[in-house]
Homo-oligomer: A and B are copies of this chain.
Amino acid sequence: MTISEVSKKFDITADTLRYYERVGLLPSVNRTPSGQRDYDDKDIGWIEFIKCMRGAGLPIEVLIEYVGLFQQGDSTIEARKELLIEQREILREKLEAVQATINRLDYKIDVYENEMVPFEKKLKHNDQVDE
């Protein structure tokens, strides 16, 4: 799979895909004899994983560390698990914060709705007075 195909498939720019590779987030992408990237299923899997994790806000550094551990084989299983648990905890806190803010916006929007009723009434009243 070429870089532009992957780019379209995941809606990630080719520049970003090259950047990911450069920083060690996407190691060992195969090349065609002429040097062009040729993504295989394993690469696609990583990209899909990275897209999901980045979409939730995990820092690239953390993902690089995870990839690095993965490449070191079975001896890092425990470390990888700990890393994921730690990130999950951070995401749980983020979820809480986002939910709390949504609740607050719900309330504020509701107040605006109800504040507009007397506001519109006032406008109507003024219209009547003018007539």
Q: Which residues of A contact B (CB under 8 A)?
A: 52-53, 55-58, 74, 77-78, 80-81, 84-85, 87-88, 91-92, 94-95, 97-102, 104-106, 108-109, 112-113, 115-116, 119
Do A109 and B95 form a contact, CB below 8 Å, given A101-B55, A102-B88?
no
Chain copies in complex: 2
CB distance from A57 to the nearest CB of B (A): 7
| Residues of chain B within 8 A of A84, CB atoms compared | 105, 108-109, 112
Question: Bound complex: CA of A116 vs CA of B82, how far in Å?
Answer: 13
With beta carbons under 8 angstroms apart, the residue of B52, B85, B88 that contacts A100 is B52
Interchain residue pairs A-B with the least CB separation, the first 9: A56-B101, A81-B112, A88-B105, A55-B97, A56-B98, A95-B98, A91-B102, A84-B109, A84-B105
